[in-house]
Amino acid sequence: MVTMDQSAELLALAVSVARSASDLAARMRADGVAAVATKSTATDVVTAADRAVEQFVRDALREARPDDAVLGEEYGGGRDGARVRWILDPIDGTVNYLYGLPQYAVSLAAEVDGVVEAGVVRNAATGREWTATRGGGAFAGDARLAVSGETDLGQALVGTGFGYAAPRRLHQAQVLAGLIGHIRDIRRFGAASIDLCLVAEGTLDAYYEQGLNPWDHAAGGLIAAEAGALVTGLDGAPPGPDMLVAAPPALHGQLHDRLSALGAAEGP
């Protein structure tokens, strides 16, 4: 059981660390992107900033809460028997970071006993920041967030993303080809955590993606859910690597059923 005070305390730490971390990312961007290496494929890049920002956040969390575990995109991590585990994407939207497109974020969530209780997503290029605690609502600054009121999938602006491996991308493109005639339009901004926050504030009606990792959606998923979105997988599954669908209740079933019929969670 986590009290609202405990969630608020975890969020306050997350916000303070994410602000300094995003300042570091922005400073390193201004100094020029350095030391690009590749990970899963030739287009899955990691910069010196991804690693430096992750290390900064790990150090700050260890200093403040030495007994907690951290799972981060660049350096991994286990649970180590800890009740509290932080889930971190130091730079979500690394390709945007590389190109200087202003859509990249520090995403940091605090999970207690396996449940995400607090999360912050901070766009390091613009300073926009979205937060939530479980049961306490979602906010951008002081403004409480609510999902869009759209009820017709045919009128919905839908965000999505693509993985880095060609076979996966081809499958995702086929699913999109089956969907795009049934929605208003598609957006691909390139940072899953921000996409989820856009659903939370209603500037996207809905979002789905196959292949997300916990650090892509832990914070943004809570923010979207606290703003009123249903955040699920397909066919009763929880949101995870096979599929994440985030949409207001009135749209969720329509989008879910289309994606399920298109086999969106299947394939490579």
**Contact residues for ligand IPD (CB under 6 A)?**
73, 89, 92-94, 161-163, 190-192, 209, 211-212, 216
Burial of 35-52, coded b for 16+ CB within 10 Å and e otherwise, reads eeeeeeeeeebbbebbbb
Q: For residue 195, which phi and psi values (nearest 5 degrees)?
A: -55, -45
Asked if residue 73 binds Ca ion (CB under 5 A), the reply is yes
**Minimal CB distance residue for ligand IPD:** 161
Q: Which stretch binds Ca ion (CB under 5 A): 72-80, 150-158, 164-172, 196-204?
A: 72-80
Pick what 202 binds: ligand IPD, Ca ion, none; C-beta below 5 to 8 Å, kind-dependent: none
Nearest by Cα to 203 from 234, 248, 162? 248
Minimum separation from the CB atom of position 41 to ligand IPD (A): 11
Minimum separation from the CB atom of position 44 to ligand IPD (A): 7
Minimum separation from the CB atom of position 247 to ligand IPD (A): 17
Q: 201: helix, coil or strand?
A: helix
Q: Are the beta carbons of 129 and 123 closer than 8 angstroms? A: yes
Site mask for Ca ion (CB under 5 A), range 86-115, x = bound: ---x-xx-x---------------------
Q: 186: helix, coil or strand?
A: strand
Q: Are the beta carbons of 235 and 253 closer than 8 angstroms? A: no
Dihedral over alpha carbons 173, 177, 179, 185 (to 10 degrees): 90
> Which helix (H) or strand (E) element contains residue 9?
helix 4-30
Minimum separation from the CB atom of position 229 to ligand IPD (A): 17
Pick what 191 binds: ligand IPD, Ca ion, none; C-beta below 5 to 8 Å, kind-dependent: ligand IPD
Pick what 161 binds: ligand IPD, Ca ion, none; C-beta below 5 to 8 Å, kind-dependent: ligand IPD
Q: Which stretch binds Ca ion (CB under 5 A): 21-29, 69-77, 98-106, 200-208?
A: 69-77
